[in-house]
Structure formats: structure tokens, C-alpha cells
Structure 1
Amino acid sequence: MTDTSTLTPREAFELLLAGNERFVSGTPEHPNQDAARRAETVPAQHPFAVLFGCSDSRLAAEIIFDRGLGDLFVVRTAGHVAGPEVLGSIEYGAGVLGCPLVVVLGHDACGAVAATRAAVEDGVTAAGFVRDVIERVTPSVLAARAAGLVQDGDVIAEHVRHTVDLLLDRSRVLADHVEAGRTAVVGLSYRLADGSARLVAARGLDVPVDSAP
């Protein structure tokens, strides 16, 4: 069993992607999902990654990355919008639990991004607190428009990149961890059809970023 408490950011990233590759190929191992793991994690948790993703029901983190109990510290909101509670949760994962990796996970056909694009383009917005979600996604959609991006995949990738930058801009704790080499922040875009997660942003990791939609 891998000792996730001593992983480097690069090793944590590779471990996460290896799980996604198993999920995509239909050969999941379902690690750390038995009674022994349950007992092992009772005294303390040592997740190797903070997973900040969209709340979409098709993005169940432990399933699509083939992980188990105690592996991922998961924070999810519609459209992966980040308020103070989210920032505090991510800082807890990186600063207190010592996670060497923070992941922002977006996906194609995101309802929050689609609703925001409709609000920007047609002036059609939602009622209640859904409007707050749309307002928080709006800067990403406006940035995509300014860059001439119109395809769904391009807009989603821009929103993921914007969220990565926002986390580092707003959280001094997280930025300090990245600067010190203790933590990396990456942005992934998930494809619903084949289950793959591609890298669209990386801070603190020297890895190639996928620019395709």
C-alpha cells in the first residue's frame, strides 16, 4: 500500500491520474474501501489531495479517480465557485492535513457555466442563490469571451484556470505552500463521455498542460 503521508506534489499528482486511467479503462482496483481501511482511518486522516470540484452528480471524486476512504479531502460546489468557506476548507486540507496536491475539477456540459453564458449573452438569469453562483462564474465567462473562446471545452478550461488563479490570489496560505514547494495546485477538465480528466492548469508542477478543447 502506498504511504500517502510522504508523497511529493508530483507523486500525488501521478497517483491521482493513475486512478483516473484505471477508471477510464474499466479496470478499477477500488483501493482503501474495505473494513481494514475504515479502522485504519479512525484515529486520523492523511489524504494526499484536496479535490475541489463541481457538485455535479456525475463527478463523484473517489469513483472517477479510483480511490477510497481517507485518500481525498473533497470540497464541492456548483460550478466550483469559491467563497470563504471553500477557501478555509482548502487551506485546512493543505495547511493542517498537509495535502501536497490541490485539484480544481471542472467538466464539460457544466450547468453553472451554461447558465452563466446565458445570463451574459441573453440577460437570462436565475432566482435565489443560484444567481450568486452565476455571478461568481461570470468573470470566467467574460474572460473567455474576451479571448474569443466560444467552444464549450474552451470556456470550461478557462473557468478552471480562473479558479486556480483565484485560489492562489485569495489564499496567502495556499500561495505560500506552493512557493515553498510543499503543495501544487492543478486544474483538471473532466469529460463525461469517456471519464478522462485532462490537465489544463498547473502551479507548482513542471508538467505539460493540455491546450486542446
Structure 2
Amino acid sequence: MIADRTPGAVWSTMAQGNDRFVAGAPRHPHQDAERRTEVSAHQRPDAALFGCSDSRIAAEIIFDMGLGDLFVVRNAGQIVSDSVIGSLEYAVAMLDVPLIVVLAHDECGAVRAAIDQDGPDAPALPASIQSLVSQITPAVHRVRRITGASSTDTIEPFDVGREHLRATVGALLSRSELISEAVADGRLAIVGANYQLHDGRVNSDAVVGVV
């Protein structure tokens, strides 16, 4: 657990851990039997992380953290839902986390599917997958308007992912009074960030609150 649990201190610690991961020099903290025993009876994570389920991303690894450090919520494409809101509200209200990190990444399959589905000859997807992908479609449309892209072939997935990330941060604030009040009170901050698969770097993109 970080001694100074301000949003800025927590994000700084996470950024330093990511630097070590990128450099290939992780410390692997809080991953031993002593830590396992320490957190077996209670948890007080330093941050909540809401990210994509992509198998190439593991939150504790890319931030060089360990057991009990992060409260992690994941689904394909980091789609906001009632269960996501409830989980993050639990982290804020019951576990007193000072920071929520919303983590997107490049080469996201859900983003690619949303772009492809916007084309005229897109094949039908299974209903549950379509329901998920459709929530990224507004980001596709915004990128179309901003860039003037005439077809799905000319839309940059990174641009769509960034728009979706920013919309996700906004949705957490608009759909959760508990989260928005905690940010307004200075008890919580939200960092929207992008993970680069090729080098492991996490770059912040949208910040709400004081970090």
C-alpha cells in the first residue's frame, strides 16, 4: 500500500512501475507468500483499474504491482455497464481508492469490430457481441465527422480508441453520482490512459480531478 494515498501519488507510483516494466527491470513487489498472507483478511487497494479484457494486458504486470494493489474491472473494449459502475463505486465508497484508471490500448479487437460494422456490407455479429460493439459505434461516427473519412478503410483505429476512451471517462462521471461527487470533493481522480502493445508504455490521455 502506498503511504501517501493522494491521486497524484498513486498515479506517480503506477507510472514509475510502468517505466520499470518498459525498461525490462520490474521489481515484482507484493508477489510473495508474505504479501499473500498480509492481504488474506482484508484489502485496501491503491487504485481501481477499468480496462479491456485483452489477453495481452495484465494490469499488475504492466504497472509492476502485486497482490492487493489494484482493484481490477475488465470487459472487452472497456464498455461501461451497470456492473462496471457498481464495481467502481464499491472501490470508491467501500475501499476508499483515490484513483480510477481507465485503460484502453491499441490494436483493440472491439474497436476494430466497431469500425468494420459501420461499413455497408458488414456481416452480422452474434447478438451479445453486437450489443457490446455498438457502444463503440458513437466513437466511430465522431471520428468520421472530425476526419471526413469516407469509408471504414480510412478510419484510424487509434483515433476511434481515443474517442471511446474519453467517452468512457465521461460516462463514469455522468452515470455515477457517487464517482462524480468524489471527484468534485477532491477525494478521487480519474486518469484515462492508452497502453501500447509493442513497447508496454502507458500514456495518459484524459485526466479528471487533481493528479
TM over 0.5: yes
TM-score, reference length from structure 1 = 0.92
Q: 2:37 aligned with 1:39, yes or no?
A: yes
Q: CA offset at residue 141 of structure 1?
A: 1.8
Question: Is 1:193 aligned to residue 198 of structure 2?
Answer: yes
Q: Secondary structure of 1:79's match?
A: coil
Q: CA deviation at 1:205?
A: 2.7
Q: Which residue of 1 aligns with 2:54?
A: 56
2:43–2:95 Cα contact (<8 Å) kept:
yes
Question: 2:115–2:157: 8 Å Cα contact kept in structure 1?
Answer: no
Q: Distance in 1 between matches of 2:184 and 2:3?
A: 20
Query: Which of these two proteins has the greater Rg computed from alpha carbons?
Result: 2
RMSD between superposed Cα atoms in Å: 1.4
For 1:53 and 1:7, locate their aligned partners in 2 and report how far apart those are by CA, in whole Å: 21
Alignment of 1:174 onto 2:179: yes
Count the aligned residue pairs: 204
Contact kept, 8 Å, 1:5 with 1:47, in 2: the verdict is: no
CA contact (8 A) 2:7 2:98 kept: yes
Q: CA deviation at 1:186?
A: 0.9
**Partner in structure 2 of residue 13 of structure 1:** 11
Deviates more, 1:118-127 or 1:8-17: 118-127
Q: Which amino acid aligns with 1:129?
A: S
Q: Distance in 2 between matches of 1:144 and 1:170?
A: 23
TM-score when scaled to structure 2? 0.93
2:162 to 145, 149, 157: 157
Shift of 1:74: 0.2
1:5 CA drift (Å):
6.1
Indicate the percent of aligned positions where both proteins have the same amino acid. Answer: 45
Residue number among 26, 30, 36 corresponding to 2:24 in the alignment = 26
- Equivalent residue, structure 1, for 2:92: 94
Contact 1:51 1:73 in 2 (8 A): yes
- The one-character-per-residue Cα deviations of 1:115-147 (angstroms, maximum 9, x if unpaired) are 001111335241131011111111222222222
For structure 1, the residue ranges without an aligned partner over 5 or more in a row are 207-213
How much has 1:173 moved relative to structure 2?
0.4
- Runs of at least 4 residues off by over 3 Å: none
State how far apart, in whole Å, the 2-side matches of 1:97 and 1:45 are: 7
Which range moved further: 3-12 or 190-199?
Answer: 3-12
Partner of 1:211: none
Residues 123 and 99 of structure 1: is their aligned pair in 2 closer, same or farther, counting only changes over 3 Å? Answer: farther
CA displacement, residues 31-69 of structure 1 (integer Å, 9 cap, x when unaligned) = 000011011101210101111000000111111111000
Sort the Cα spacing of 1:123 and 1:75 in 2 relative to 1 into closer, same or farther, 3 A.
Answer: farther
CA distance in 1, matches of 2:145, 2:6: 37
1:156 CA displacement: 1.3
State the alpha-carbon separation in 2 of the partners of residues 123 and 196 from structure 1.
Answer: 36
In the alignment, structure 1 residue 146 sits paired with structure 2 residue 145: yes
